[in-house]
């Protein structure tokens, strides 16, 4: 049993020309201050010191954003339902919010945000939300995995994937978490097979699975720990 990794890449951002615009105070959320307020909500493996953490809610007034599509010909209907950003302002559509809330009882936070076209006219065809996935997994620093994954690992992933790779029981426990982050990386999302199936059943846009190493065009989803599949892709 595995799980999926989702990260929106530059091809998608370039196609729709999407940019986040800070509202309210215009402040950026300080990662150290944010993580200092994490609370432990359980342990996945005491020996390996792997814990479940719950992140705090984010103040929507202090750290609110809306989004602008800079490209003139962007079709609002083709905006992905899930978009992640290196700056952590991850957004999802109403469709995705409904699926996550029905599938996962963890208290994730969804904050309404507005979408504008290149002329600064608000697009009202679909509702989007800033999403604060509040389930984090905390690891002791380890080593990179021996099996090279078909995606570019973040610095944080390099510190923990070796630990997951060599512990089947931990891998199975992680695969049962509907949606989560690794502590220290708010950009990359990890999703269970069950949640991905539910999202696919709703024809969610923005979940094209890798067909080649590192993905092609707007491919952003890859199944983690399917070693045979990874070898086939590399060969």
* Residue range 19-28: mean pLDDT, rounded: 76
Helix or strand or coil: residue 191? strand
The domain ranges of the chain are: 10-135, 141-234
* 223 contacts: CB under 8 Å, gap ≥ 6: 2, 3, 4, 5, 193, 209, 229
Strand partners, 82: 92
* pLDDT surpasses 80 at 161: yes
Strands 179-182 and 135-138: parallel
Most confident among 158-162, 178-182, 217-221 (mean pLDDT):
178-182
Q: Which two tokens stand for residue 179?
A: 């949606």
- pLDDT attached to residue 88: 76
* pLDDT surpasses 70 at 69: yes
- Taking Cα atoms as reference points, which of 99, 84, 90 lies closest to residue 12? 84
Handedness of CA 12, 112, 33, 145 (dihedral sign): negative
Asked whether the beta carbons of 177 and 130 are under 8 A apart, the reply is no
């Amino acid at each position: 049993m595995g799980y999926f990794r989702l990260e929106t890449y530059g091809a998608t951002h370039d196609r729709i020309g999407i940019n986040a615009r800070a509202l309210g105070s215009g402040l950026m959320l300080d990662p150290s201050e944010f993580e200092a307020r994490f609370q432990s909500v359980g342990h996945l493996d005491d020996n390996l010191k792997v814990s479940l953490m719950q992140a705090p809610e984010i103040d929507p007034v202090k750290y609110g954003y809306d989004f602008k599509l800079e490209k003139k010909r962007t079709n609002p209907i083709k905006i992905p339902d899930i978009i992640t950003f290196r700056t952590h302002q991850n957004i999802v559509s109403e469709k995705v919010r409904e699926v996550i809330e029905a599938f996962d009882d963890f208290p994730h936070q969804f904050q309404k945000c507005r979408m504008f076209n290149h002329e600064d006219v608000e697009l009202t065809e679909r509702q989007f939300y800033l999403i604060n996935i509040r389930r984090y997994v905390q690891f002791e620093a380890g080593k990179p995995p021996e099996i090279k994954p078909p995606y570019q690992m973040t610095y944080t992933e390099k510190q923990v994937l070796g630990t997951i790779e060599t512990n089947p029981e931990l891998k199975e426990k992680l695969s049962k978490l509907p949606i989560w982050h690794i502590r220290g990386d708010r950009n990359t999302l990890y999703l269970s097979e069950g949640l991905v199936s539910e999202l696919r059943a709703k024809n969610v846009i923005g979940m094209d699975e890798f067909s080649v190493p590192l993905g092609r065009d707007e491919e952003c989803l890859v199944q983690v720990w399917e070693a045979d599949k990874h070898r086939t892709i590399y060969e």
